[in-house]
Amino acid sequence: MKLAIVILNWNGKKLLEVFLPSVVKYSCDNEIYVVDNASTDSSVKFLELNYPNINCIQLNHNLGFAAGYNESLKLIKADVYCLLNSDVEVTKNWLSPIMDVFENEDNTHIIQPKILDYKKKNYFEYAGAAGGFIDMLGYPYCRGRIFNIVEEDRGQYNDRTEIFWASGACLFISATCFKDLGGFDNAFFAHMEEIDLCWRAINNGYKIEYIGNSTVYHVGGASLDNTNPKKTYLNFRNSLYSLVKNSQYQLIIVIYLRLLLDGLAGLKFFFQGKFNHTFAIIKAHWSFYKALPRLVKLRRQSIKTTKSNNLLPSIVWSHFVLKIKRYGELYK
């Protein structure tokens, strides 16, 4: 079974200098591709001089995460793609447990390893941790991370289990599944596009797993950190996009409750003096209203099973009202 490791890069020469060596060292004879999203730094020159054996695909302009991968994967022939962020350090034998599943089980098509924090290596990393889930209103959370509460890795998630979404920081997906789903939704540009992809995968009967004996370390926020209003805009907008496209619940009720909670989040930012983030949420809602006809059309195409109906009612209620801080406390 042929694996292609694909790293999307945009002005990330410094990240490539730090993290590419581990990928080269621990990826055996698997092909590595760096897809350059029209960088204006010297990323491509760095690759040509230091890693001439790595395949470099150069895009004409910055297509973002979603379209960048969609366009580049058309040019790569493989049975399995590993979509790897440029700020991820991989470890020895990180590939073996995952490829064993792909080679021996036909029903699993998307896999995520354990993702720990590069800067604090005994803690899970925000973006994915030990596998992602979502509540009825489209708010994501993880085993190992609920909102901003991140758990220490004490071996509590050294398992293998089915999950709802796999992190785009390190996402393995069969080429068959990726092509069947039509890849990422280009309208997302960046952030939460992997949740939309995974939700569509589940709605189409595909299985997603977390493999806890494969570990990588992720910096996180290397492109946009949490203080950037653009990230707030993309997260709120894209979450609403995904909710309308994929939710199997009564849409009018779900959207009403979701917009109400988003409004409360905007007020919280306002009273914290983070006015740019409040305006980012307002902008996200306007973008959502504008895109609604397209999203409703895509919704009709997405839902083919009823598998994703059994979702947690509200992670917001569980965390902020019931004061639940860890994934293991949610189902007690």
pLDDT along the chain (332 residues), means of 10: 97 97 96 97 97 96 95 98 98 98 96 97 96 96 97 98 97 98 94 95 96 96 73 95 93 94 96 97 97 91 64 94 95 80
Structure tokens belonging to residue 283: 């902008």
Residue 222: the pLDDT is: 56
Q: Which of 160, 140, 242 is nearest to 201 (CA)?
A: 242
User: Residue 84 contacts by C-beta under 8 Å, 6 or more apart in sequence?
Assistant: 5, 6, 7, 23, 90, 169, 170
Residue 225: the pLDDT is: 65
Strands (E), 128-261: 132-134, 140-142, 145-146, 149-150, 160-162, 170-174, 207-218
Residue 332: the pLDDT is: 76
Residue 250: the pLDDT is: 87
pTM over 0.85: yes
Residue 223: the pLDDT is: 60
CA distances from 193 to 7, 18, 20, 89, 108 (A): 16, 26, 24, 22, 20
**Sheet containing 132-134, strands listed edge to edge, beginning at the edge strand earlier in sequence:** 132-134, 140-142, 145-146, 149-150
Q: Rounded to whole angstroms, how far apart are CA atoms 235 and 275?
A: 17
Report phi then psi at 93, rounded to 5: 65, 25
